[in-house]
Amino acid sequence: MTSRTIRARDRPVFGVDVQSGDVRGDDPSYALVVLDPVDDDDPDAPDADGPLARITRDVVSLRKLRRLIDDREPLYVATDNAYELAPDKNALVGLLRSLPDGTRLVQVTGAERPEPLSRVASRHGIPYGKKPMKEAEAAARLAAANVGHEVTAFTDETTVKVSRGRSTGKGGWSQDRYTRRIHGNVRKRTRQVQSKLREANLEFEREVTEKYGGYANAVFTVGARPEEIPVSNSRAGDVRVEVERERRDGIEYEPLVKRRDRVIVGIDPGTTTGAAVVGLDGTVHALYSSRTADTAEVTEWIIEQGRPILVAADVEPMPETVEKFRRSFDAAGWRPTTDLPVDEKLHRTREASYGNDHERDALAAALYAYDAHADQFERITEKTPPRLDREEVIAGVVAGGASVEAVIEELREDAEGDGDEGGSTPETDPTEPERTEEEETIRRLRDRVDRLESHADSLEDDLDERDERIEELEAELEETKREERIEARSRRIVSRLERETDRLERERDEARETVAELEGKVETLKELWRLDHSNFDDVAADRGLTSVKVVEQFTLDALDAADEAYGLVAGDVVYLRDASGAGRRTAERLAETDPRAVIRDGNLSEVADGVLFDHDVPVVPASAVPVREVDELAVADEAKLEAAIDDWEARAERRRRDERAERLDRIISEHRAGTRLETEE
């Protein structure tokens, strides 16, 4: 693979035309159209015939245009005249030198004698308008289709120079060691550059200037463009590397796509992509397969082999990937009526040498496409005059869809137009007697009659083929309509059943929710019936139970919520479902309600425990007094609660006694310390 056939889908393409002003004057402005690449596999990509579909339009100054070129590094900067971007040859060379590596200036209208942009756009089916923005877009689309000539002032050779990055100085006691170090680093960097060039399989010549301790400089002449070389301009410490293309004597124009033979291409898409190229005489030219190549790489390989007029697949219908290749080459398509069997593909490719099944399938598609068109190629060849290019006529008929006579007439007109522009006249045989004007008119009329008769015969053949094709398509249409009616009927039935299923599922879910709700209500009613919830405290007392008020967490918000829900008053038994994390304010808030007791689930903080203890609020664990809950109501066993409170009071008395003893010991200690201090004084 070479970079000369990089696909436009990989990088943007700029189309440029003068909007106002002149490059020789002050502040010219340009109409800029940017064709950005779109991934072929992206489902959100715009639908387009080519690989580039996302368009941006703007009007920019020359300075902003050059800044955008540096930032975006487009594949092509396309224009109808290169001197719209530079006032003279020297400025144009400077512009070409400033372009990023891999960016090319393209003149889409030709070389030294450019054609009108409207004619070039019309010939390639590109929309055209006289406004600058329309001309810029036409130039961008033509360049994206590889139409035009690259404007270049440089050869394909590049000079890579490795030299000293600093002076060796004027001398000194360590001068020799300093110079040796610099020359040694230049030699080391030279070897690194040489190793990279070899790893990239680039051809080069090397010239070195040896100095004390190593090299003073080394010059590599590389047969490649800067973007293909794995070395760039750099300067680090003692060494400097400069990469520069070789200058030509003048400005030259190179066609983006050189003339190549017309070919038939077979494609086998998949995890491994296979491709085959066959000539118009059925000769196998090349085979290709790769697991890692993307569409751009396969297209690049095909472009290097020739110009496709037929793109073929071995299955019906044609895969979308193959269809994209066909559209990108503006070629005709071929596919079998049914998928080609493996045994037939093996038989058709028996005389060819292929590396794997993917190459075999691609080659079989190309050969079967040739077989289907061989008779047509032969008829076209018989009708083609000797001086015209047979392949161009075949391409115009097969890929262009025109008649043989129309293509021949167009090619003749182009040839005559070229002869008129050059100021030359057709050569004549000096031995042939000179015809009179009447004889010459008769000859031209007879030639025209012969062409028209041949054209009429060809049109009749085409009409017969089209009638047969119309009958086939009508039969297929009727069958398709019948299948669509059956499918539509099936879809309606399925939709009705799906709606009925959804309705029944909704009713089932609603019924389940109703049952669950009613079951909960029944359980609640049973409990309330047992406890006579209208006089719950009395009932609970009669049964040896005490009512409990539940607080979800020991926080101020939870206490406020409980107080708002059922009120917290003196003498309540409060159940803290989560007693952890409370501080002083929260504990004081609870102590202010003067509860009879607090049942805790979890451990209290030391601060909260101290506050409740100071307010003589008994705190008992839930393990000692189990709480039974019914919805928002809760009860606890009165006897267990009393026992837990008694136990807390006993522990509280011991705790108070211990605290009094501790305070007394502290007072005695402080008194003894004061007495000892007075004695010492």
> How far is residue 216 from each of residues 193, 195, 220, 235, measured CA to CA in Å?
15, 19, 14, 15
What pLDDT, on the 0 to 100 scale, is given for residue 5?
Answer: 37
Give ∠ CA 217-222-225 in degrees, rounded to 5: 120
pLDDT exceeds cutoff 70 at 541: no
pLDDT tens digits, one per residue of 12-29: 999 999 988 887 777 789
Name the DSSP class of 622: T
Sign (positive/negative) of CA torsion 319, 321, 327, 330?
negative
* pLDDT more than 90, % of the chain: 22
What is the rounded average pLDDT of the residues 154-164?
86
> How far is residue 433 from each of residues 162, 436, 437, 578, 611, measured CA to CA in Å?
72, 10, 13, 123, 135
* Residue scoring higher pLDDT (89 or 112): 89
The most confident of 136-140, 178-182, 381-385, 563-567, by mean pLDDT: 136-140
> How far is residue 427 from each of residues 246, 375, 386, 417, measured CA to CA in Å?
43, 34, 15, 15
Residue 175 amino acid letter:
Q
pLDDT exceeds cutoff 90 at 360: yes
Third-level CATH fold of 3-147: Nucleotidyltransferase; domain 5 (3.30.420)
Structure token pair of residue 173: 């006691």
Q: How confident is the model at residue 426 (pLDDT cuts 50, 70, 90)?
A: very low
pLDDT exceeds cutoff 60 at 259: no
What pLDDT, on the 0 to 100 scale, is given for residue 364?
Answer: 94
pLDDT exceeds cutoff 90 at 462: no
Nearest alpha-carbon partner for 632 in 547, 557, 559, 553: 547
What is the rounded average pLDDT of the residues 389-398?
84
Spatial neighbors of 236 by CB under 8 A, at least 6 apart, are 165
pLDDT exceeds cutoff 90 at 346: yes
Nearest alpha-carbon partner for 97 in 245, 220, 198: 245
What pLDDT, on the 0 to 100 scale, is given for residue 525?
Answer: 66
pLDDT tens digits, one per residue of 320-332: 989 988 888 888 9
pLDDT tens digits, one per residue of 568-596: 888 889 999 888 878 899 999 999 999 99
Cα(289)–Cα(266) distance, integer angstroms: 12
Query: Per the CATH hierarchy, to which homologous superfamily does domain 262-398 belong?
Result: Ribonuclease H-like superfamily/Ribonuclease H (3.30.420.10)
Which of 361-375, 502-516, 589-603, 628-642 shows the lowest mean pLDDT across its residues? 628-642
What is the rounded average pLDDT of the residues 499-524?
88
Q: How confident is the model at residue 679 (pLDDT cuts 50, 70, 90)?
A: confident
pLDDT exceeds cutoff 50 at 534: no
Structure token pair of residue 131: 């406004």
Residue 157 phi, psi dihedral angles, 5° rounding: -100, 145
Q: Provide the whole-model pTM.
A: 0.39
pLDDT tens digits, one per residue of 598-621: 998 888 888 888 888 888 899 999
- The full DSSP string for 10-79 is GS-EEEEEEEES-TTSS--EEEEEEEEE--TT-TTSPP-SSSEEEEEEEEEEHHHHHHHHHHH--SEEEE
Average pLDDT over the chain, rounded to an integer: 82
Assign 399 to helix, strand or coil: coil
Sign (positive/negative) of CA torsion 70, 71, 74, 80?
negative
What pLDDT, on the 0 to 100 scale, is given for residue 511?
Answer: 92
> How far is residue 64 from each of residues 30, 60, 84, 103, measured CA to CA in Å?
10, 6, 15, 17
Structure token pair of residue 437: 């004007």
Which of 94-108, 114-128, 427-441, 622-636 shows the lowest mean pLDDT across its residues? 427-441
What pLDDT, on the 0 to 100 scale, is given for residue 659?
Answer: 83
pLDDT exceeds cutoff 60 at 537: no
pLDDT exceeds cutoff 80 at 455: no
Cα(194)–Cα(162) distance, integer angstroms: 11
Cα(486)–Cα(556) distance, integer angstroms: 70
Q: How confident is the model at residue 676 (pLDDT cuts 50, 70, 90)?
A: confident
What is the rounded average pLDDT of the residues 406-426?
58
The most confident of 38-42, 140-144, 521-525, 662-666, by mean pLDDT: 140-144
What pLDDT, on the 0 to 100 scale, is given for residue 436?
Answer: 64
Match domain 157-170+177-255 to its CATH number in 1.10.3470, 1.20.120, 3.40.50, 3.30.70.
3.30.70
Q: How confident is the model at residue 277 (pLDDT cuts 50, 70, 90)?
A: very high
What is the rounded average pLDDT of the residues 368-397?
85
What pLDDT, on the 0 to 100 scale, is given for residue 44?
Answer: 52
pLDDT exceeds cutoff 50 at 433: no
367 contacts 282 by C-beta, under 8 angstroms: yes
Q: How confident is the model at residue 435 (pLDDT cuts 50, 70, 90)?
A: low
Cα(501)–Cα(492) distance, integer angstroms: 14
pLDDT tens digits, one per residue of 94-147: 888 888 878 889 999 887 778 888 888 887 778 888 899 999 999 999 998 888
Structure token pair of residue 453: 């008769």
pLDDT exceeds cutoff 60 at 432: no
* Residue scoring higher pLDDT (385 or 639): 639
What pLDDT, on the 0 to 100 scale, is given for residue 79?
Answer: 94
549 contacts 521 by C-beta, under 8 angstroms: no
What is the rounded average pLDDT of the residues 230-251?
83
pLDDT exceeds cutoff 60 at 446: yes
What pLDDT, on the 0 to 100 scale, is given for residue 637?
Answer: 86
pLDDT exceeds cutoff 70 at 240: yes
